[in-house]
Amino acid sequence: EVWTKAGDRLKSKVLELLRAHKGKPVSGQEISGKFGVSRTAVWKAIEALRTEGYIIKSSPRLGYELAEEPDILGPTGIMAIAAASGYLDDGRFYPQIDSTNSEAKRFAEDHPGQSALFVAEEQTAGRGRLGRQWMSEQGTGLYLSLLIRPEIEPSRASLVTQVAAVATAEAVEAVTGLEAQIKWPNDLIVDGKKVCGILAELSAEMTAVNYLVVGIGINVNQSDLPGEIQDKASSLRRLTGRKIDRQTLLRAVVERFGHYLGALQDDALLERMHQVYRLKSATLGKEVRLLGKADRTARVLDITKEGELLVIYPNGERERIHFGEVSV
């Protein structure tokens, strides 16, 4: 693909450097020295960024300064976010794709050992949990998948959905100022309405994980949601009354995910992550209806570190629930 050319890599490195010096100019000489390329190559990269909508001020004496980022998702921004993550090898952007989760799985088969970020502006066959579809109209939502290859046993793999829920909740809170809660197992809700869903998929042998694909869909700038989900779902824009910069949110999600990812291997970090999960839980301590279990109601006593729901029925009977859905 075009954007894996050397020039595009330089472009995303330059972007990353300018971002790191936001508000301060960086000289052309410093950039060319840092990446071992000519001043002309630097200038070309700057021009290419400008055509993508980045506003870059330049002065012959001081150099280049990033003044404004566009709210479009594009290859350069996605690659830069992946590069800055510290745990992803690659970042891929698609104007349109069937599903970023499906694409991540195809990529995983063709690129052994690699981890990557996949972001689409639009999905034509976005997938949700329990075989549902995920509305993925162009330009308003954030549709991303993370392909990772942790060295863990399959029994620990499901922890990754909690990592994603906690990370996304923190990112949403940091970027919007809203308070996000986690509805078991891993929906994000704000003011009782769903704003984000997570779909994790696993490829494993009996004793080792091959790879994990974690798909995250966030309703960001939708001004209206389809009638059938209006009373259950909302968007960050509707909830804050302002447009949210999707790239800023994406960057925060990827960063927070990286922060908690170690919980898959490290019990101390798992403990901390689980604390945050419980604090943000909209389900803990509540009376819930267990959908699909003859709609029985029960009280949620605990959510275990493994992500199971521990419930007690009115007749005193207790149960651990691994999988499913509840309504409050």
Please say which residue, 129 or 274, places its beta carbon nearer to ligand BTN: 129
- Stretch near ligand BTN under the rule CB under 6 A, chosen from 67-75, 84-92, 99-107, 172-180: 99-107
* 126 has binding-site annotation: no
127 touching ligand BTN, by CB under 6 A: yes
* Nearest residue (CB) to ligand BTN, 15 versus 88: 88
Applying CB under 6 A, among 13, 92, 129, 274 the residue interacting with ligand BTN is 129
**Tokens coding 278:** 């419980």
Is 106 among the residues that bind ligand BTN (CB under 6 A)?
no
Q: Does 99 bind ligand BTN (CB under 6 A)?
A: yes
Asked if residue 258 binds ligand BTN (CB under 6 A), the reply is: no
Task: Answer for the pair 99, 126: CB distance below 8 angstroms, yes or no.
Answer: yes
Residue placing its CB nearer to ligand BTN in the complex, 9 or 105: 105
Q: Which stretch binds ligand BTN (CB under 6 A): 83-91, 97-105, 150-158, 273-281?
A: 97-105
Number of CB atoms found within 10 A of residue 292's CB: 12
The helix/strand/coil state of 69 is coil
| Stretch in the footprint of ligand BTN (CB under 6 A) among 17-25, 67-75, 128-136, 153-161 | 128-136
- The SS3 of residue 48 is helix
Contact 290, 143 (CB under 8 A): no
- Piece in contact with ligand BTN (CB under 6 A), picked from 126-134, 159-167, 241-249, 283-291: 126-134
Q: Does the bond joining 75 to the residue before it have cis omega, within 30 degrees of 0?
A: no
Q: Residue 145 or residue 247: which is nearer to ligand BTN going by CB? A: 145
101 is in an annotated binding site: yes
Q: Which stretch binds ligand BTN (CB under 6 A): 28-36, 94-102, 227-235, 237-245?
A: 94-102
- Does 99 carry a binding-site annotation? yes
Task: Tell me the closest approach of the beta carbon of residue 98 to ligand BTN, in angstroms.
Answer: 8
| Long-range contact pairs involving 267-272 (C-beta distance under 8 Å, separation at least 24) | 270/159, 270/305, 271/305
CB 250 within 8 A of CB 264: no
CA-derived radius of gyration, the chain: 21
Token pair of 167 as six digits? 């990370």
Return the residue of 12, 76, 85, 100 that touches ligand BTN, per CB under 6 A.
Answer: 100
Nearer to ligand BTN, 64 or 143 (CB): 143
Residues in Cβ contact with 15 at an 8 Å cutoff, skipping those fewer than 6 apart: 49, 54, 66, 76, 77, 80
Task: Scan residues 156-215 and list those touching ligand BTN (CB under 6 A).
Answer: 187, 197-199, 215
Q: Report the 3 state secondary structure along 108-166.
A: HHHCCCCCEEEEECCECCCECHHHCECCCCCCCCEEEEEEECCCCCHHHCCHHHHHHHH
If binding is defined by CB under 6 A, does position 101 make contact with ligand BTN?
yes
Is 128 near ligand BTN (CB under 6 A)?
A: yes
Q: Which two tokens stand for residue 112?
A: 């052994």
Strand partners, 217: 143, 197
> Cα–chain-centroid distance for residue 105?
16
Return the residue matching tokens 């479009």.
Answer: 72
The answer to whether the beta carbons of residues 161 and 182 sit under 8 Å apart is no
Residue 256, marked binder: no
Minimal distance, residue 131 CB to ligand BTN, in Å: 9
Which residues carry a binding-site annotation for biotin? 99-101, 123, 127-129, 194
Where do contacts with ligand BTN occur on this chain (CB under 6 A)?
99-101, 123, 126-129, 132, 134, 143-145, 187, 197-199, 215-217
